[in-house]
Structure 1
């Protein structure tokens, strides 16, 4: 589903929260609360993180580069969303607004 045009960091965070909630069988509100309590650290192991990343890439129609910055960003939902947003901007050749 590639319905997002010009996603924002908050939109991407929403997608990550939804994917985490679906993966864990929990409500989005519960996942958001848990993330907020934990300082927005991603509470999943690296294998599940890769699965979430693949789903996110498919949904947004973007490829997140496999580099050091991307790897570091996967510790925090917001940092991860910022890297995904940068990949979205790069993939279509125009900045999102």
Structure 2
């Protein structure tokens, strides 16, 4: 199948993006593409909607909702490595947030 620029979005992808079973990270604003809460992430280059949130949005959501089992920080506080704040959260915190949301 040849992909053409500006081709319409398939119905399958449209249904996935607009389904009611969205990723829980969509409850926070995306720090990467600035998609508002409740809206899907987009590509900054062409505005296409993404079926999954950006990794930074998932990290922001996990930070806002879960305690980190790795560094024991409370919801809202960034993960750290020996007192040095990390840009992303620990993988275990993301797992904890997903388990809590399920």
Bigger Rg, structure 1 or 2: 2
In proportion to residue count, which structure has more helix? Answer: 1
Is the structural similarity TM-score above 0.5?
no
TM-score (norm 1): 0.30
TM-score (norm 2): 0.29
